[in-house]
A and B are shown apart, each in its own frame.
Chain A
Amino acid sequence: QKEVEQDPGPLSVPEGAIVSLNCTYSNSAFQYFMWYRQYSRKGPELLMYTYSSGNKEDGRFTAQVDKSSKYISLFIRDSQPSDSATYLCACAYSGAGSYQLTFGKGTKLSVIP
């Protein structure tokens, strides 16, 4: 079992829909949780970052972390065609002089006008 599991999709929604993207993880040591967005043939870019459990909102995007169930989510409200990209969740911990960052495989999202 991979440490971070993510449904690869693809996911196709109409413009204006609410999108829900999810990941599960198995390593309880993870402390930091991130969502990256990757457009075709580009590098990933950080979209949202949260520490421990809770919600974080940034415009149309909301990230949720539930450490008790090892579940992380990204919600996109009023989705736009420009949101079409691959979304990667990532989990990280640091300790003992090292650092571990693990990505999910990514979910490909298409927002249809």
Chain B
Amino acid sequence: DAGVIQSPRHEVTEMGQEVTLRCKPISGHNSLFWYRQTMMRGLELLIYFNNNVPIDDSGMPEDRFSAKMPNASFSTLKIQPSEPRDSAVYFCASSFREWNTEAFFGQGTRLTVV
């Protein structure tokens, strides 16, 4: 298996633009997680899905952030409009079960908003 696949690996965008990050989880995993990592705040859970249904989005910082999982093999995290403080590395992770003791992370998307 290729593991969790995220795209793009790097994204540089101007403030105010819409950004869409994509994730393909490992086949057969039924839980998917979006994290954001910064030096200041470390790794933070933004939202997680179980069987394609959003379970907890309390970590989503603002209404500018939205996430979807239209099917078991694809998820998106969208930021609209983007701001410089959104600059971070965004990780997607998947696991067999909701209690992601064995979560597998993607390589991350490094987002820079200028």
Binding site for B on A (CB under 8 A): 32, 34, 41-46, 49, 88, 92, 94, 97-99, 101-106
Contact = CB atoms under 8 A, between A and B. Distances in A.
B99 A99 contact: yes
A65 to B, nearest CB: 13
Given A42-B108, A92-B100, A106-B43, 6 more contacts: A41-B108, A43-B91, A43-B106, A46-B101, A101-B100, A106-B42
Contacts of A49: 101-102
Contacts of A92: 99-101
Q: How large is the interface on B (under 10, 10 to 19, 20 to 34, 35 or more residues)?
A: 20 to 34
Contacts, number: 54
Interface of B: 4, 33, 41-45, 48, 55-56, 91, 93, 98-108
Contact of A42 (B33, B56, B107): B107
Given A43-B4, A43-B91, A103 B42 contact: yes
B35 to A, nearest CB: 8
18 contacts: A32-B101, A41-B108, A43-B107, A44-B43, A45-B105, A46-B104, A49-B101, A88-B42, A92-B101, A94-B99, A97-B55, A98-B55, A99-B98, A99-B100, A101-B33, A103-B42, A105-B41, A106-B43
